Structure 1
Amino acid sequence: MGAAGKTGRAVTRALVARGVRVRAAVRAGSRGVPDAGPSVRVVTLDLTTGDGLAEAMAGVDGVYHLAPNVHPDEVAMARRVAHSAAAQGVSRFVFHSVLHPDDASMPHHRRKAEAERAIRARLDSVTVLRPAAYAQNLVPAARAGLIEVPHSVDAPFTNVDLDDVAEVAAMVLTEEGHGGETYELAGPERLSVREMAETAASVLGHPVEAVAIPVQEWVTGPGATLPEQARDDLVAMFESYDRQGLVGDPSSLRRLLGREPRSWRDVLA
């Protein structure tokens, strides 16, 4: 699901690298659809209505469910997808959740927790991945020399490499022994945005500044084009970041990969 987004494209690449035939499910008219090589078949569906779900899942061995970011209907989407997977007899189901889904201060995290419960109520054996924020989210800003965020630049984060997450996703979809498990996927470093800017300057060879902008400036700027609910969800997230950042335990990711997860420096390099 969501194969046209950055996570979906990364998971598709990781699966194809393992020799898996992928059915890449996207919304009609989506941009960024994965290259439809011989191992990838693109299909369209509508997660808000369920149209196309049965056809997309017919004959598949596993499903990777990834909902649109901060979508208000995420829990109902999860129920629709899980119901269809059960009806189609899908043997392996992986849900892409989020780090700390039960954090009551962030509404879109809570919806992930509810979605987890809705899927488990319908399917017997589900694998849940709970990734931290992606290191790649800050790479374009680092390259441009200015990382502006609407929260404290001194709050701690354990940002994770998207390709590490995709590697784990492909692993749990294709290997035995992961049904019923929940894996927290956090990066190996605890860094603030200020520290990430300093590292980026060292790796990229040019100054990189970290700047905290007022939340209201974000609301009237980049956030102005978002639906009100999505904007409110993200403001709540920024306020949570101000208080505690977003930090997880990298031990599960390290164990699953069988190596050290990629660092912020690795991603930049």
Structure 2
Amino acid sequence: MLVVGAAGKTGRAMTAALSRRGVDVRAALRSPARAETAYAAGASSISVVDLESGLGLDEAVDGVDAVYHLAPNVHPDEVGIAERVASAAARAGVTRFAFHSVLHPDDTSMPHHVRKGRAETVVRELLPHATVLRPAAYHQNLVGAALSGRIAVPHSLDTPFTNVDLHDVAEVAAAVLTTPGHEGRAYDLAGPEQLTVREQAAVAAHVLGHPVVAEQLVPEAWAEGPGAALGEQSRADLLAMFTAYDRGGLVGDPAALTALLGRRPTTWAGVLTR
């Protein structure tokens, strides 16, 4: 199976989950310099691809049974990339295809969510049998901050989130690619509890045994600090997301994830304990 975007944290988790099922994983990477990362996650081979031009995609999908497509985060050409990857898979006759989307891809207050939704449509037009996974934000995004004792975010500390364990998402992704019955389906993948950032800090303090403070950053300060290294479009997309989070957080229904896992999804405390 081919994992597109295999060197990132999500791609590494997908590769590891597939490898645990005995799957031979080919990692699609933008540079051979990242090959060691992919091999460490369990990939058995690599293909170098340029998602923006499509160069290398036909070679990458040659001979594979399935594709997991994960686009670069907040990429302005999300729809074009999806079309190129899905077209290559269609030409190769790939029988299983999963697209990594996002929770609430129709939320017009977040432009990069809308691009995910448009990419879903493009994928389905080319590959009607494709499966779409729509994960919430990952618990893992805040683990490092919790360990440091300070969770600082550029949005409200008091709106709810149903964050999800990346390993749970990877387990489900591996399942939908290796077992029948998921063709043409779309699954929201949300965690089992609604927690604000302030509540997440309190849980972390209890589990880790040291103080963990929650701090709200001014979005402009984020834009001039951590966001300064991003492109203008990506920075604007994330600022719009933070505004949306101020209004209502990001909440989904855990029912699909629970059913697919056959157990209760991993909680925030569970991730920290692990």
Which TM-score band (shorter chain)?
over 0.9
Q: Contact 1:36–1:42 (CA<8 Å) still a contact in 2? A: no
- Is 1:237 matched with 2:241? yes
Normalising by structure 1, what TM-score? 0.98
- Is 1:248 matched with 2:258? no
Change (3 A) 1:98 1:39: closer
Residue 131 of structure 1 is aligned with which of 121, 131, 135?
A: 135
Superposed, 1:25-44 pairs within 5 Å as: 25-29=28-32, 31=34, 33-35=37-39, 40-44=44-48
What residue number does 2:72 align with?
68
Percentage identity across aligned positions? Answer: 62
What residue number does 2:194 align with?
190
- Is 1:176 matched with 2:171? no
Q: What SS does the corresponding residue of 2:46 show, helix, strand or coil?
A: strand
Q: What is the CA-CA distance between 1:43 and the residue it aligns to?
A: 1.4
Q: Deviations over 1:43-98 (max 9, x none)?
A: 11010000000000001000000000000011001111111101000000000000
Q: What is the CA-CA distance between 1:39 and the residue it aligns to?
A: 5.6
Q: Gaps (5+ residues) in structure 2? A: none
Q: What SS does the corresponding residue of 1:253 show, helix, strand or coil?
A: helix
Q: Contact 2:39–2:45 (CA<8 Å) still a contact in 1? A: no
Q: Contact 1:20–1:39 (CA<8 Å) still a contact in 2? A: no
- Is 1:111 matched with 2:115? yes
Aligned length: 269
Normalising by structure 2, what TM-score? 0.96
Q: What is the CA-CA distance between 1:124 and the residue it aligns to?
A: 2.3
Q: What is the CA-CA distance between 1:21 and the residue it aligns to?
A: 0.3
Q: What SS does the corresponding residue of 1:33 show, helix, strand or coil?
A: helix
- Is 1:159 matched with 2:163? yes
Q: Deviations over 1:184-239 (max 9, x none)?
A: 00000100000000000000000000000110110111111111000000000000
Measure, in 1, the Cα distance between the counterparts of 2:42 and 2:231.
38
Measure, in 1, the Cα distance between the counterparts of 2:201 and 2:32.
36
Change (3 A) 1:174 1:236: same
Q: Contact 2:101–2:132 (CA<8 Å) still a contact in 1? A: yes
Q: Contact 1:26–1:33 (CA<8 Å) still a contact in 2? A: no
Q: What SS does the corresponding residue of 2:37 show, helix, strand or coil?
A: coil
Measure, in 2, the Cα distance between the counterparts of 1:13 and 1:86.
25
Structure 1 counterpart of 2:12, one-letter code:
R
Q: What is the CA-CA distance between 1:38 and the residue it aligns to?
A: 7.8
Residue 206 of structure 2 is aligned with which of 198, 202, 208?
A: 202
Q: What SS does the corresponding residue of 1:239 show, helix, strand or coil?
A: helix
Structure 1 counterpart of 2:132, one-letter code:
V
Residue 17 of structure 2 is aligned with which of 14, 18, 22?
A: 14
Q: What is the CA-CA distance between 1:5 and the residue it aligns to?
A: 0.4
Measure, in 2, the Cα distance between the counterparts of 1:41 and 1:59.
13
Q: Gaps (5+ residues) in structure 1? A: none
What residue number does 1:50 align with?
54
Q: What is the CA-CA distance between 1:30 and the residue it aligns to?
A: 5.1
- Is 1:86 matched with 2:97? no
Measure, in 2, the Cα distance between the counterparts of 1:209 and 1:38.
36
Change (3 A) 1:222 1:5: same
Q: What SS does the corresponding residue of 2:169 show, helix, strand or coil?
A: helix
Q: Deviations over 1:143-183 (max 9, x none)?
A: 00000000000010000000000000000000000000000
When the two chains are superposed, the root-mean-square deviation of aligned CA atoms in Å is: 1.2
